[in-house]
Amino acid sequence: SKKIQSDFFFSNRDFFWPLPGFHTITSHFGPRKSPTTGSSSNHSGIDIAAPEGTNIYSVIDGIISYGDLMEQIGCTIITENDNINVLYCHISPNYIVNVGDNISKGSIVARVGPKNVFSIPNNPYKDSNGNPTNGATTGCHLHLTIKKEA
């Protein structure tokens, strides 16, 4: 378990690291050069490199409030707890949780998705070979965003 703490934002809240054994952050929060067409130059989370199929663990206790394709961040689930939302993006399109499920911190909620997904109709995101991608992505990773709602 990894503790992330900020006195003004997440005071006294423990978070579980979503990818035990994988700690390489390939893109940090904030301004960046867009790595691919369709991706943002203001990165809303962090990207953690991990192989396709790697288990993703819940950062917090909560309820699954979303599970579907979400534009450039690809296949996504969202966990809510009070006013904290956690987005897990570029995950496998074979969802293992459903909207409304209560989940515990540290439980498996998804798997790192493939770069290419062929099962999403009208997917506008493509790689350099014209194959459909899991949102605007250059490879397998977890995009993790933690937000405090007002």
Tens-place pLDDT, residues 31-66? 556 555 445 566 567 889 999 999 999 999 999 999
DSSP 114: P
Query: What number of CA atoms fall less than 13 Å from residue 138's CA on the CB side?
Result: 10
Give the range with max mean pLDDT: 65-79, 102-116, 129-143.
Answer: 102-116
pTM for the full predicted model: 0.82
Token pair belonging to 109: 């909620």
Mean pLDDT of the chain: 83
CA dist 53 and 114 (Å) reads 8
Q: Is the pLDDT of residue 127 over 50?
A: yes
pLDDT at residue 130, rounded to an integer? 92
pLDDT at residue 39, rounded to an integer? 53
Which of the four pLDDT bands, split at 50, 70 and 90, describes residue 72?
confident
pLDDT, greater one: 10 or 60? 60
pLDDT at residue 28, rounded to an integer? 61
Q: Is the pLDDT of residue 11 over 50?
A: no
pLDDT at residue 136, rounded to an integer? 81
pLDDT at residue 2, rounded to an integer? 39
Cβ-based neighbours of 20, under 8 Å, separated by 6 or more:
57
